[in-house]
Amino acid sequence: MAEASAGHATIIQDWASDVTTFKGVPWGKAMMWIFLLSDTFIFSIFLTSYMTVRATTAEPWPNASEVFSLMAFGHSVPLLLIAIMTFDLITSSGTMALAVNYGYRRDKRKAIFFICATAFFGAVFVGMQMFEWYKLISEGVRPWGNPWGAAQFGSCFFMITGFHGLHVSAGVVYLLIIAYRLHKGVYDKTNFEIVEIVGLYWHFVDLVWVFIFAFFYLW
């Protein structure tokens, strides 16, 4: 903590130190951050290309508020499923934060429990996304066209949410593997920083969803 708040002068010292730049950061965590940085670029480019095709099409863009509405209690509620998916993913981020915290307290049992809870909420998210895809495909949305307007809507939707869903699915598998290995005692001689590393990945998946929710569903 004292080091972290030491101020901007540490930047030059750290980068010029001729040894490990990211001091106090386990190598696995540094590598996960670098991977997430590269993933940031991938999702940024997806969203930028979505902006480009949406801005260049001369046809009207389908209204996401209506496309993603669901019937509930006799009313059509806009973006209902998307809102539930958002809250589900935030909940999974919360349980992941607890898992990281218990990991650093060396409370292995609670850390494993909360990692599994996170994986559960992630699996629920993927399930809801499958339902969303099924609904849109049965309504005639294809990567090359849809009944409501600009054809690019489908290609953007499937590409962006598909890539994000793939990240969530991979994350669920990753979480379960780490939970199993924690249980087996593979990390007992370490500081349990592996929980923070898998946590970084999981929070990133939630972070990407924040941007997809804003730009694709709300805009």
The DSSP H or E segment spanning 75 is: strand 75-77
3-state class percentages of the chain: helix first, strand second, coil last, to nearest 5: 70, 5, 25
Task: At 212, give phi and psi (nearest 5°).
Answer: -65, -45
186 sits near other proteins (criterion: CB under 8 A)? no
- Please tell me whether residue 71 adopts helix, strand or coil conformation: strand
Q: Which of 35, 105, 130, 131 binds other proteins (CB under 8 A)?
A: 105
What's the rounded Cα separation, in Å, for the pair 116 and 38?
A: 27
CA–CA separation, 160 and 153 (whole Å): 11
- Tell me whether residue 14 or residue 128 sits nearer to other proteins (CB atom): 14
CA dihedral of 203, 207, 213, 214, whole degrees rounded to 10: 160
CA 189/CA 129 separation, integer angstroms: 39
Site string for other proteins, 74-103 (x = CB under 8 A): ----xx---x--xx--xx-xx-xxx-xx--
Unique residue bearing structure tokens 């996960």 = 32
The answer to whether 170 contacts other proteins (rule: CB under 8 A) is: no
Q: Which of 62, 168, 206, 216 binds other proteins (CB under 8 A)?
A: 206
Binding of other proteins by 132 (CB under 8 A): no
In the complex, the smallest distance separating the C-beta of residue 85 from other proteins, rounded to whole angstroms, is 11
Q: Is 28 in the site for other proteins (CB under 8 A)?
A: no
Taking residue 156's Cβ as centre, other Cβ atoms within 10 Å add up to: 22
Amino acid at site 178: I
**Closer residue to other proteins (CB): 98 or 172:** 98
Q: Of 10, 113, 133, 135, which one interacts with other proteins (CB under 8 A)? A: 10
| Tokens matching residue 173 | 């598998």
What span, in angstroms and rounded, lies between the C-alpha atoms of 77 and 120? 26
Give whichever of 6 and 137 is closer to other proteins, judged by the CB atom: 6
By CB under 8 A, name the one of 65, 72, 173, 181 that touches other proteins: 65
169 binds other proteins (CB under 8 A): no
Q: Which residues bind other proteins (CB under 8 A)?
A: 1, 3-4, 6-8, 10-11, 14-15, 21-26, 29-30, 33, 36-37, 40-41, 44-45, 48-49, 51-52, 55-59, 65, 78-79, 83, 86-87, 90-91, 93-94, 96-98, 100-101, 104-105, 191, 193, 196, 199-200, 203-204, 206-207, 210-211, 213-214, 218-219
